[in-house]
Structure formats: structure tokens, C-alpha cells
Homo-oligomer: A and B are copies of this chain.
Amino acid sequence: MLITEHALRNFTENIFLAMGCSAEHAKLAADVLLLADLRGIDSHGVARLTGYVRLWEKQRINATPDIKIVHQTPTTATVDGDAGLGLVVAPFAMQVAIDMADKYGSGWVSIRNSNHFGIAGYHALMAVEKDMIGIAMTNASPLVAPTFSNERLLGTNPMCYAFPAGKYPPLIVDMATSAAANGKLEIAQRSGKQVPEGWIQDENGNYTTDPHALKSGGSLLPLGSDREHGSHKGFGLSATVDILSAVLSGANYGPWVPPFVAFLEPPTDPVGKGIGHFLGAMRVDGFRPADEFKTHMDNWIQRFKSASTVDPSQKVIIPGEPELEAEIDRKKNGIPVVDVVVSDLNELAKKLGVSHLTGL
């Protein structure tokens, strides 16, 4: 079904209002989800609404959190999200980072007691709008095995770096530190397709192309896939995200991160509170005049866009470019939402007494 941005945004806001979120929080949370849907990252948009509601029903998400700074220096802070939606906790924390950067050049916030924060790019872009470099990371429920292990100890732990440019759109690196994001696996599971070797292993640590292997003790592999191709680097990046997000803030880390799905219970021996994020902002003009930086960013992008390619029909893709193209298209032509998600959302609407979704 094709749905206008406006209709999908209203619907999403109404669901959050029905959960008891404040008008401000409902609007913000909807904005974070909508950006994912607009930018074509469908796994992180409204498709997750039902999941958030289920966690709220189980009282694992607090709809009226008292989000606050619990530790601070002029440019570092720890924020406690009070078990709120990551969709509102992370923007709060990013604003803290931006305010510190405004005053002192940079700002860094580690967040505990939060939940899934949507796409990392949303938070990083908040900094970019202020001519700052934005950094956003989060840990996540354990699905990935470290190199040599067959145990799920890490999340797909994404890291995002976003840079303002001049005539070009911002350059946004926003990536899971696993070989494949979980969303890609879910697509294969739904469509009954096999996945490439190097994405997952079975419970014994053998490569498998069965996307359902995760349900029988298998695990995702770190970026690099195997030791010979640098999976220890993907593991190292994922560890970095986990430590900055959770060991630093006092959230749960590694295998203690609570699952995103309500039907799985969190570990009974937590090592911290909720899940963790790490956000940062640095003023570009803390290093050189912003217009100089942007001119050179444009030159960088221009050079890479015009690189010689293996296949003349396949140009080099600047990080963030395909997402922007999707955003322009979907703002104009509507957001395609797959039928299973639409019926899921309409069932949710019925339960919460919210008007159902209507297509274009």
C-alpha cells in the first residue's frame, strides 16, 4: 500500500499518543520512525511500531520517562533514559551534546536505561543541521558471534558518522558492524530466499545460507565474515560500540542487552540499565572555517563520484546518497508499506482505538 508521509506520520503519532506519550514525545518519536520510512530503511520505521507497543504493554518501555543528565563535565555527560523510547531519549541526549559543542567545540553523551533508538542517522543529522559532525552509535540485542565463537554476544551495533557538505547533501556513513544487518535477514526469511555465505553461521559455527538458522542457535557474523577477511575487525568495531554505549554509561552490554522482542524475557542478572547509546557532536569550525570544510567536502564527493568503475553502469555510491534519493521519491510519491505491516498496524490501531491507515 502506498501511504502519504502525512497520513503515516499522523497514524504513528496517534499510536504513541494512545500509549500515553506526551504530545511532544509522540511527535518526536513519529518523526524518527518516519525518517527511516522516507529514507527506505523500512526495517527501522513504522514496521517496528507493534514491537514498541508490545514492550510498553510488558512495562519494559516507559511512555512518560523522566530523562535526565546523571553525570557531567563541560563536554561529556551520561544520560539516564528512564526506560523511555530510544526514539525520544536519543534526541534529548543529542541536544545535550550539541549544546556542549556550541559552547566548547564538542559534546559527547553516553546513554543508559534506553530502548531501540530507530535509525542512527536521525540523531547524527541533528548535529549536521548545526554545521557539526554528528556521531551516533547504539548497542542492541545479542545476535552476532565474535570471531572464533558460536555464541551470540553482540548486537548488530551500528555506528554512524555524518558530515555536512556544501552543494552536495551530507555524507552519512550509517552501518551495522555485522556483515549483514538483521533487516536484510528478515527480508530473506519472509521471502523464503537463501542468503549469501559469510552472513551467518549455524550453531556449530559452520557457514549456512539458511536465513532461519538464527532461530536454531545460529548467529550473525561480524563485518569481514571470517578471520581471513577481517572478521576480527568487525568484532572490534562492534566491541567499541558496545563499550562506548553501555560500559561507559552503565547500560547492559554484550549478552546482557535486553531483547527487542517482547516474547523473550531480559536476562535475570542485568549488569546495567536498559540498552545504551553513544552520541557526539563536533563543530566543524572548531577545526577550520565551515565554508572551507564544505568546499573540500564537495571536492571529495565530486572526486569519488567521478571515479573510474569496474562496470561503467555502476557508479561509486557516496554514503547516504541512496537514502536521500529514496527520501525525495517517497516525499513526492508516497511511502510503500508492505501488506503484512499494514494489517499489523491496523490491528494495532483497532486495539488502541486509533483511526486505521488509508492508502493513497
Q: Does A74 contact B (CB under 8 A)?
A: yes
A263 touches B (CB below 8 Å): no
Q: Please, which residue of chain B has its CB at the minimum distance from the CB of A250?
A: B288
Task: Tell me which of B177, B179, B234, B248 contacts A293 (CB under 8 A).
Answer: B248
Q: Is the CB of B225 within 8 A of A229?
A: yes
B296 touches A271 (CB 8 A): yes
B224 in contact with A179 (CB, 8 Å): yes
Residues of B within 8 A of A78 (CB): 287-288
Inter-chain CA distance A196–B224, complex, in Å, is: 13
A351 contacts the other chain (CB 8 A): no
Chain B binder among A82-90, A147-155, A352-360: A147-155
Q: Is A175 an interface residue (CB 8 A)?
A: yes
Interchain nearest-CB distance for A246 vs B (Å): 8
Copies in the complex: 2
Output the nearest chain B residue to A177 by Cβ-Cβ distance.
B233
Q: Say yes or no: B282 contacts A76, CB within 8 Å.
A: yes
A287 touching B149 in the complex, CB below 8 Å, given contacts A223-B234, A293-B248, A296-B253: no
Q: Is A183 an interface residue (CB 8 A)?
A: no
Q: List CB contacts (< 8 Å) of A147-166 with chain B.
A: 147-151, 153, 161, 163
Q: Considering only CB atoms, which chain B residue lies closest to A145 in the complex? A: B307
Residue in B closest to A195 when the chains form the complex, CB atoms: B228
Docked pose: A198 CA to B171 CA in angstroms: 26
Flag A249-264 by CB within 8 Å of B: 1 or 0 each. 1100111000000000
The stretch of A20-28, A29-37, A59-67, A315-323 that contacts the partner chain: A315-323
Beyond A73-B104, A176-B233, 12 extra complex contacts between A and B, CB < 8 Å:
A73-B105, A74-B104, A75-B105, A104-B104, A149-B307, A150-B310, A153-B304, A171-B239, A175-B232, A196-B229, A224-B230, A239-B304
- A: which residues have CB within 8 A of B? 71-78, 104-106, 108, 110, 133, 145-151, 153, 161, 163, 171, 173, 175-177, 179-180, 196, 198-199, 201, 204-205, 223-225, 228-230, 232-237, 239-240, 242-244, 247-250, 253-255, 271-272, 282-284, 286-288, 292-293, 296-297, 299-300, 303-304, 307-311, 314-317, 319
